[in-house]
Amino acid sequence: AQSVSQHNHHVILSEAASLELGCNYSYGGTVNLFWYVQYPGQHLQLLLKYFSGDPLVKGIKGFEAEFIKSKFSFNLRKPSVQWSDTAEYFCAVNGPGGSYIPTFGRGTSLIVHP
Amino acid sequence: EAGVTQFPSHSVIEKGQTVTLRCDPISGHDNLYWYRRVMGKEIKFLLHFVKESKQDESGMPNNRFLAERTGGTYSTLKVQPAELEDSGVYFCASSPGTGSYGYTFGSGTRLTVV
């Protein structure tokens, strides 16, 4: 079965710092990859997704993620975080093959100090 | 477009009691999913409806959990009798098609069993 590892459970940064959140998955083959974000008191929202094509994916609010197939990774990055990026971030993977139910990681809680 | 609505947003019940969670998907979305997140752990899939039919209920933890979607509109998830380990946040998501395309999540119901 697919498993998803998010290595950083809690991250604390100051505004303008750069962010990279790790995500690795276990099962190879064709997969679809997602990053979701949950801001305090709000619902889970899709930040970005990768289905095929350019492995560098750009999402909303200046976030991007890079799919590295050889490393089974899909790390999330942002060059300069803002206080409003304080949220919980979840990596999710569905696949391979016909498995369309996404498997989520444990989430990373990000706190950005102004 | 209205989003996915879940209620209650919070519920605190005693062990042994019954609780019913409700999810109203986006109108026209045939696919409805339930997920659960136990504190600090990953978001885990519970089950998937296509209209009123259960497509996949492999994630349901045990027979104390009963999900229904009469008429293919809103869904309920009943826990009877509730146990302490059932505490967590229950998320609902809906999508127009199968898979993670166009997934929209609700804000979740935080269930605390004391």
A105 inside 8 A of chain B by CB:
yes
Banded pLDDT at A94 (limits 50, 70, 90): confident
Banded pLDDT at A41 (limits 50, 70, 90): confident
Q: Which chain B residues touch A42 with a CB distance below 8 Å? A: 107
Q: Which chain B residues touch A94 with a CB distance below 8 Å? A: 99-100
Q: Got the DSSP string for B10-69?
A: EEEE-TT--EEEEEE--TT--EEEEEEE-TTS-EEEEEEEETTEEEE-TT--STTEEEE-
How far is Cα A8 from Cα B42, in angstroms, rounded to an integer? 13
Tell me how many residue pairs between chain A and chain B have CB atoms under 8 A apart. 49
Decide if B80 contacts B16 (C-beta within 8 A).
Answer: no
Banded pLDDT at A20 (limits 50, 70, 90): very high
A48 inside 8 A of chain B by CB:
no
End-to-end CA distance of chain A: 41
Q: Which residue in B42, B105, B107 is closest to A106 by CB distance?
A: B42
Decide if A24 contacts A41 (C-beta within 8 A).
Answer: no
Rg (Cα) of chain A, in Å, rounded? 14
Residue pLDDT, tens place only, B58-93 = 999 999 999 999 888 999 999 999 999 999 999 999
CB contact under 8 A, B41 and A46: no
Decide if A76 contacts A35 (C-beta within 8 A).
Answer: yes
CB contact under 8 A, B100 and A49: yes
Interface of A with B in 65-104 (CB under 8 A): 90, 92, 94, 100-104
B64 vs A42 pLDDT, higher one: B64
